[in-house]
Structure 1
Amino acid sequence: MSRTWFITGVNSGFGREMCNQLLARGDSVYGTVRDLDSVKDLTDLYGKQFRVAQLDMTDTLAIAPLVKRAFDEAGHIDVVMNNAGYGLFGPAEGLTDQQIRHQIDTNLIGPIQVARSAIPYLRQQRGGRLMVMSSYGGQATHPGASLYHASKWGIEGFFESLAVEVAAFNIDVTIVEPGAARTAFRKTAGARMGDFPDAYADSPLAAMFARLSDPGFLAAGDPVKMVKTMIECVEQKPAPKRLVLGSDSYAMLHKALTERLAMLESQRSDAPLTDFQSGS
């Protein structure tokens, strides 16, 4: 069965690969990019099967009108995929106010606005799938990625709560948590790093940034396989609340959640001590 997808950030990485696979199998895509020329080849090859609009995710006022236009032109959209985003790394004190705002607007506020704008149309058509690109960084952390994690932890909280809100309308929600993949993510993130004060030279951050700048490092994740799995998950009912992709993602999430549960259990007897006592 062919579907129509709305996907943000289709010029590169997972978004571009998703377009390639969907269009090749006969689905229709309504994509967004900042630079229309970056997808001219897809427009020329697929015609009306691939519609594209210009959108900067930080321009939040432009999101609702664009989503309306997409539903008006497509008539029916089966999947809304919030893919656009990027990594911002560096010591928290070394990031500028502008960098912080841009990261949160792109990775968190933008996807929230896309989802909010799409929900009324999905309700009217009696169903659909909302998907959002997180990462294992939505539940696990690395030093030097505080703002990136803030955006991803925020987006996971929003979409997990949203899933319960919209379930009655036959709208499913899936949070995608890929590990490192062989896309341009690391290169882009490396170009956007904040200042690195000398005080951090011997800290855990130094090792992480050395890895980011290591041209010999190859991520384990295959973006073609990851995207194929994302597309296939739309067939699943009930929808997976979270879709973990990559051995590193599983390992990082397992470690983080195990440690978090152990910490919680260690406070099992102390937590109730702050409750009002019966008869007090």
Structure 2
Amino acid sequence: MSENPAPEAQAADAAADETPAAPHPWTDLPAEQFSLLRLAPLPVDRETGPRPLRFVQLGRVERHAKDLSMLRLSIQVPGQRLHRQNNLLEVWADHQRKEVRFGPDKGLSVEPANRGLGRFLMAQGIAWARKQYAHYTVEGAALPTKGNFNEAARARRDHALKAQGFTIEYSDPLQLKPFYSAPRVSSLHGDWHTEKVQIVELLDAAAMLQQADQTLQEQDVKLRKLEDRVERFKREDSGLRFTITCLVAFSLFQAGLLIWIATR
């Protein structure tokens, strides 16, 4: 009996090696908890354009198992349909290796840009990890380099990550291959620009809606008063036009009468 495996067995093993690993069951979990975020109005930016007041929705879902825990945060922008990997942050805690990994693997891509959302998402993920896994190490990884990632965007990203406790290193002189790392979760800082992004509680949102409705009603009353004044002015204008027309006709009649008397 030959000791060499059959060609069919070798082909089967090769096919098994090339088969991609099945995605984790938690990969496509939808958000279960939602919050309202207020993006404060900011001055117009030369690169990203106008930055008006906006409201977006923060979605949150987390799962825990014996060997793994996961937090997924997502941002939904009204009126915009984005790629599923955009506005998404994942934090995976490996309890066997005592290690925390930030994702997704393709990097954190946020829209609208330059509004503080990226740092806010990272802060929420760090706060979640620090609460239970502060002694875990942080898995470093390469940062994505996009073709349209200009110098200003790169500087904003690096500044935000460094402010939150990460170390940014470049493996090439042109600074095209960035790598982020951190010793432990406890060395990270879960803060963000609260003047740019605020979490709006349910009662606060209700109060804002009530105030907006009251303002609309007040504006409606003012508008009706203005419309009434305009209608009154129109009626008065019509009366004045009729009076002027009568006076002109009477003046013409008098002028004609005087001419007739003078020439008779």
Same-fold status (TM-score > 0.5): no
Name the structure where strand makes up a greater proportion of residues.
2
By relative contact order (CA 8 Å, sep 6+), the higher-ranking structure is 1
**TM, length-normalised to structure 2:** 0.28
Name the structure where helix makes up a greater proportion of residues.
1
**TM, length-normalised to structure 1:** 0.27
